[in-house]
Amino acid sequence: MRYVIVSVVKGDGGKFNNELRKDIFENLSVKSSKLPAHFTIKSPFECEDISILDKELTEFTNLHSVSNYKLNGYDSFDNRVIFMKVIMSNKGKKIHDDLIDTLSSIPYIKFDEKDGKNKIFHVTVSSKKIKNRFNEL
């Protein structure tokens, strides 16, 4: 099966992103992720048995407290993706990096520069076939 690991954006920021993506779809017919507002921790990967992953995530969440982050401003990856900037606290970055270390011990989880410790934290607004509508967006 195919899986992805994300951090769901809750509160006003998550509501705002979800509504913004809905408005963009209704007014400009530009699709976005089917997932709720989130930033990606691990991009899609294949696995038949996630019991080890489930155990590691449960243990990790029992040992670490929640850390807030802020959404502030917009940016893009070329003309392919428009996103909200995530301003991560030092504590949040440490928790994230510890999680990457933990998940890296699982044989079927491999990180690259786009989803490892040095990723650009972002919450996508639009990314599905937007090149022709980039300036309008």
Any idea which residue has 């993506």 for tokens? 21
Two tokens at 92? Answer: 């949040």
* pLDDT average, residue stretch 94-118: 93
Angle between helical axes of 51-63 and 90-104 (0-180°, round to 10): 150
Q: pLDDT per residue over 60-93, tens digit each? A: 999 999 999 999 999 999 999 999 999 999 999 9
Residue 131 has pLDDT above 90, yes or no: no
Beta strand ranges found along the chain (DSSP E): 2-8, 38-46, 69-77, 81-88, 122-126
| First-to-last C-alpha distance (Å) of the chain | 34
Number of domains in the chain: 1
CA distance 129 to 18: 19
Two tokens at 45? Answer: 């990967």
Q: pLDDT per residue over 22-63, tens digit each? A: 999 998 888 888 899 999 999 999 999 999 999 999 999 999
Burial label for 86, CB within 10 Å (0-12, 13-18, 19+), is buried
Residue 117 has pLDDT above 90, yes or no: yes
One DSSP character per residue, 103-131 reads: HHTSTT----TTTSTT---EEEEE-SS-G
Residue 125 has pLDDT above 90, yes or no: yes
Residue range(s) defining the domain that contains residue 103: 2-133
Strand-pairing partners, residue 83, are 75, 124
Q: What is the CATH number of the domain that holds 59?
A: 3.90.1140.10
CA distance 128 to 24: 12
CA distance 104 to 89: 22
